Structure 1
Amino acid sequence: MAAEERIPTNLRMLLILEVVGNSDTPLTPTEINAKLGLPKQTVHRLCSTLEAEGFLTRSTDGKRLCPARRLMDMSAGLVQSNRDQIIRHQVLENVARQVREAVNYVVPQETGMHYLDRVDTDWAFRIQLPVGTNVPFHCTASGKTYMASLPPSARKAFVMGLDLSPRTDKTHTSALTLLEELALTRKRGYAIDNEEFMDGMVALAVPVTDPQGRYIASLAMHGPSPRVTPESAIAERSILLGGAEQLQSILFG
């Protein structure tokens, strides 16, 4: 199989930019291709496109390519984004120090709630849900926080389309009871998972919103039920709400 067939079309330009960005000196298309193994004419064509679009520019000899303003601006944006991620993680660290349990930054995806960032507890007895974990909507505090943020009609339609399979004997398997809890969650501003996702785990989550109050993510804490009860988790909600306000400031300045 030819190299051009092995590398998806939408990745070829990114790979060229990656090679140029990682080089200390400008490169000719032939030198770029030495690292990629694409057909010569393909690399020359893609390099010409990237040059025409302002991502690459010619060096003084007119033969070699180096980053142009548009690529430099994109790189600066990525650095800025990474800075925001670092600051976001520091907010999670601060919240975790205060509640002394695992704290998670969770966002909705098509397959469930996705753990985007996490700070673990220093307790020896803890529950491992690493970054990258996907958990259900209907039986987690973060998922219920997201669903509660939806307008009532959209919320009902969303719940009616869920697979409400039980994870424990406390999981909501009725759309009606889940919708009742989501209405309460919306009113009080936080969600509780009382061993609904996992036996022996209790969690609390609050929404992170934009300045207009629109949901962006869930900020959650969880711990083992011998150490964390729904009541003790609720007692920590002001700490999570403070963290959510800090995250809003970071995300929206």
Structure 2
Amino acid sequence: MAADAPEKKEGQIPTNLRLLVLLEEVARRGVAVKPAEMIEAMGLPKPTVHRLMQTAEAEGFLQRDLDGRAYGPGPRLRKLALATMSSEHLSTARLIILKGVAEELGETCNLAIPDREGMLYLDRVETKWPLRIQLPIGTQVPFHCTASGKMYLSTLKPSTRVAVLRARTLEALTGQTCTDPDALSEELETIESRDYSTDDEEFIAGMAAVAVPVRDARNRLLATLSVHAPVQRRSLSELMEFLPSLQKGARALGKLI
């Protein structure tokens, strides 16, 4: 459903399309939604909307949010989105942009999207240097100690950030990993204001990274574009010098996606 499309009234949505329209509306909003919001948006009776959402949840297309009342994309809907983004013509165009950024920087560049448990590498272009860190496409990395993950967390509502950071113990993967939810919350506020994130050997000892957001036309984070390198070759401060190129590439990717 397009952002500027008129609201659907009862009887305008064919019965066999109602579930698809509901999923489309949930995905369009980009935040967890309550049944009452969907009733208003779709113009359908309350029992109908509740039944549709319960069916979508049972089949894995929707998933309850932390509050137990709102619904967000479930695993099957996320897989569908990933498959769509990985379609051949989109993947080829993305890879051309990503290769251009990687060749300009001379280091490995990644495009990652948020999944339920971490950031998922969608595309990747390796550096030509023999010394490199292997994180293949399809790898899922933690939110709390990676540049891409922290970039994503910084775009969440403050209350949601707190809930996510306190939902489980934050694992220390290196001596640099921040495992204090309060300290990490403060860092996420800084990331939100400056619109880029860093990883100073927090995920893998000896690796530094910088990430920027890839946003859609409504300024919502779709993915992250990041560069990483062994600190023996590039310090974090040196990687920071790549920010203008990363941001330019992210804008190009956002228009494409």
- TM above 0.5: yes
Matched, 1:212 2:213: no
- Following superposition of structure 1 onto structure 2, how do residues 163-178 of structure 1 map, counting pairs within 5 Å? 163-178=169-184
TM-score in terms of structure 1 length: 0.67
The secondary structure found in structure 2 opposite 1:203 is strand
Match of 1:85 in 2: 91
Instruction: State the AA in 1 paired with 2:194.
Output: R
Matched, 1:119 2:131: no
Which among 85, 100, 111 is matched to residue 105 of structure 1?
111
Summarize the Cα distance change of 1:221–1:162 in structure 2 as closer, same or farther, 3 Å threshold. farther
- The percent identity for this pair of structures is 41
Question: Unmatched 5+ residue regions in structure 2?
Answer: 1-82
Query: How big is the shift at 1:79?
Result: 11
Instruction: State the AA in 1 paired with 2:225.
Output: L
The secondary structure found in structure 2 opposite 1:216 is strand
Query: How big is the shift at 1:227?
Result: 1.3
Query: How big is the shift at 1:162?
Result: 4.0
Summarize the Cα distance change of 1:161–1:80 in structure 2 as closer, same or farther, 3 Å threshold. closer
Q: Deviations over 1:11-37 (max 9, x none)?
A: xxxxxxxxxxxxxxxxxxxxxxxxxxx
- Following superposition of structure 1 onto structure 2, how do residues 15-34 of structure 1 map, counting pairs within 5 Å? none
RMSD: 1.7
Which among 143, 146, 159 is matched to residue 165 of structure 2?
159
- Following superposition of structure 1 onto structure 2, how do residues 3-42 of structure 1 map, counting pairs within 5 Å? none
Pick the structure with greater CA Rg.
1
> For the residues of structure 2 that align with 1:131 and 1:80, how far apart are their CA atoms?
11
> For the residues of structure 1 that align with 2:177 and 2:209, how far apart are their CA atoms?
13
Instruction: State the AA in 2 paired with 1:145.
Output: M
Aligned length: 175
Query: How big is the shift at 1:163?
Result: 3.1
Question: Unmatched 5+ residue regions in structure 1?
Answer: 1-76
Which among 232, 238, 246 is matched to residue 244 of structure 2?
238
Q: Deviations over 1:162-216 (max 9, x none)?
A: 4311000100110011111111111111000000000000000001111111010
Query: How big is the shift at 1:159?
Result: 1.5
Contact 2:85 2:91 in 1 (8 A): no
The secondary structure found in structure 2 opposite 1:241 is helix
The secondary structure found in structure 2 opposite 1:129 is coil
Match of 2:32 in 1: none
Instruction: State the AA in 2 paired with 1:102.
Output: T
Instruction: State the AA in 1 paired with 2:131.
Output: F
Which among 211, 228, 235 is matched to residue 222 of structure 1?
228
Query: How big is the shift at 1:111?
Result: 2.2
Match of 1:203 in 2: 209
Runs of 4+ in 1 over 2 A off after TM superposition: 77-81
The secondary structure found in structure 2 opposite 1:168 is coil
Instruction: State the AA in 1 paired with 2:113.
Output: V
Summarize the Cα distance change of 1:80–1:142 in structure 2 as closer, same or farther, 3 Å threshold. closer
> For the residues of structure 2 that align with 1:162 and 1:115, how far apart are their CA atoms?
23
> For the residues of structure 1 that align with 2:208 and 2:85, how far apart are their CA atoms?
36
